[in-house]
Amino acid sequence: MPVRERLLLILPDKDIYEYLCTGCSESLGQREVTLADKRLAALRGSRRRHR
Ligand SMILES: [Zn+2]
């Protein structure tokens, strides 16, 4: 089954996402994205777009 990512909680220094099964909406785990992670992702993204 594919999974769906849902924004669960927004904290000052990080966001917490929850993974849900698209079939039965069962929670499959959580992921924390820190601000540092977001900045890195944005940097990588802009580099990719410029190429
Ligand atoms: Zn399921």
Mark the residues whose beta carbon lies below 5 A from ion ligand 1: 1, 21, 23-24, 26
What's the confidence (pLDDT) of residue 49?
Answer: 63
Q: What is the CA(32)–ligand 1 centre distance, in A? A: 22
pLDDT at 51: 58
Structural domains counted in the chain: 1
**pLDDT digit string (tens) for 1-48?**
899 999 999 999 999 999 999 999 999 999 999 999 989 989 988 766
Q: How far is CA 17 from CA 12, 22, 42, 50, in A?
A: 14, 15, 18, 28
Going from the Cα of 38 to the center of ligand 1, the distance in angstroms, rounded, reads: 29
User: What's the pLDDT at 19?
Assistant: 96
Q: Which domain holds residue 34?
A: 3-50
Distance from the Cα of residue 12 to its chain's centroid = 15
* pLDDT value for 46: 76
- pLDDT for the residue 45: 85
